[in-house]
DNA sequence: CCGACTTTTCAGAAATTTCTGAAGAGTCGG
DNA sequence: CCGACTCTTCAGAAATTTCTGAAAAGTCGG
């Protein structure tokens, strides 16, 4: 029950939380490695070893983390292995990813509104839904601005 | 391709979006029914008919929607069937549900911080993560306040 | 270019999630 | 209380998601 074990434990717990937050299982575990490693950057092979997972599944996880912008590929200095690390604004990025969902909600609501008449209960409900997500979308830029100001 | 069909189409599309947003499949489809129905309230049986799903799965979906506070059970006036309807503040509630995730993230980060020493790269990364979610959690009350003010 | 090493791809396997159907529990009118 | 109807529970089936292992592709030093 040394430090190394505690790290592993905390990392796996965080991975579970990330899964709850919507990430895929292996992507979440991979992200946990990026958080808990003592190195500045890690390679796919190191992650696979750490997680006792196949190179294939790690490859897929890295791909998805790159796509959503949580990690970045580093210019590899004379090495065959690709190095990756957590991006500085990873958490803000993860949060911003909700925008996509919100916009989809807005679109879905709008589509529903278009198929109903102005007196319908359904019309009213969909309008309320639209109003909320419209509000939410509008608030996000200012919120992120406040965050960047607080840190910067 | 009449109105009824368009409704079904729009409802199913919205259900898919809700699934993306983290709801379970049947819960999402059920919520879509609550949105698109022309009635003030619906029964479990009506939902099952609408979705061509079993009573069992609808029962489970309603249970979970009740738990997260998206719908409410109405006092049934002299009927054996329970009536349900979408709650007024359903969308704000759905959004607030993210709080749980954020708090879990905070806890996970804190646990990680506790197992690392102050100079470690891991310590720094976990601290940044903690700072962001702490900020986020703090912003939510004011945000919801603005929303209620805007509508009220 | 070659050889050694690493990453990516992908078909099939494994695991997990989700749904169904039937039995049982609950509820209301009579 | 009884009978009719509705809702809930839960074990097993179905569907979906996720992982693995091996082959192929890519990359770098020499």
Q: What are the pLDDT digits (tens) for B111-121? A: 999 999 999 99
Long-range CB contact pairs, A47-51, < 8 A, 24+: A51/A26
pLDDT digits (tens, 9 = 90+) for A2-20: 566 778 889 999 999 999 8
Cα B96 to the center of its chain, rounded Å:
8
Taking the CA of residue B115 and the nearest CA in chain A, the distance in Å comes to 6
Taking the CA of residue A5 and the nearest CA in chain B, the distance in Å comes to 10
Q: What is the pLDDT of residue B1?
A: 46
Once rounded to an integer, what is the mean pLDDT over residues B115-130? 95
- Identity of the residue in B21, B92, B111 whose CB atom sits nearest the CB atom of A101: B21
Q: How confident is the model at residue A80 (pLDDT cuts 50, 70, 90)?
A: confident
Once rounded to an integer, what is the mean pLDDT over residues B117-132? 95
Residue A68 CA distance to nucleotide D5 C1' (Å): 51
The secondary structure of residue B69, as a DSSP letter, is T
Angle B75-A131-A149 from CA coordinates, rounded to 5°: 120
Which of A141, A109, A103 is CA-nearest to residue A122? A109
Residue A89 has pLDDT above 80, yes or no: yes
The secondary structure of residue B85, as a DSSP letter, is E
Q: Which residue has the tokens 């490695």?
A: A33
Computed over every residue of chain B, the mean pLDDT equals: 92
Angle A5-A12-B109 from CA coordinates, rounded to 5°: 95
Q: What is the pLDDT of residue A1?
A: 46
What lies within 8 Å, CB to CB, of A53 at 6+ separation is A26, A29, A47
**Which residues does chain B have within 8 Å of residue A147's beta carbon, measured at their own beta carbons?**
132, 135
Structure-token pair, residue A136? 């939410």
**Which residues does chain A have within 8 Å of residue B31's beta carbon, measured at their own beta carbons?**
none
């Amino acid at each position: 029950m040394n430090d190394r074990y505690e790290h592993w434990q905390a990392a796996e717990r965080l991975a579970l939380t990330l899964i709850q937050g919507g990430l895929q299982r292996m992507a979440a575990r991979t992200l946990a490695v990026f958080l808990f490693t003592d190195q500045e950057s890690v390679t796919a092979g190191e992650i696979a070893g750490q997680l006792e997972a196949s190179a294939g599944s790690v490859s897929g996880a890295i791909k998805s983390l790159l796509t959503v912008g949580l990690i970045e590929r580093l210019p590899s200095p004379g090495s065959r292995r690709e190095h990756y690390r957590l991006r500085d604004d990873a958490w803000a990025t993860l949060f911003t990813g909700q925008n996509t969902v919100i916009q989809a909600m807005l679109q879905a609501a709008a589509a529903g509104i278009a198929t109903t008449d102005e007196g319908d209960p359904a019309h009213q409900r969909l309008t309320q839904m639209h109003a909320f997500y419209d509000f939410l979308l509008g608030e996000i830029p200012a919120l992120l601005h406040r965050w960047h100001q607080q840190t910067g």
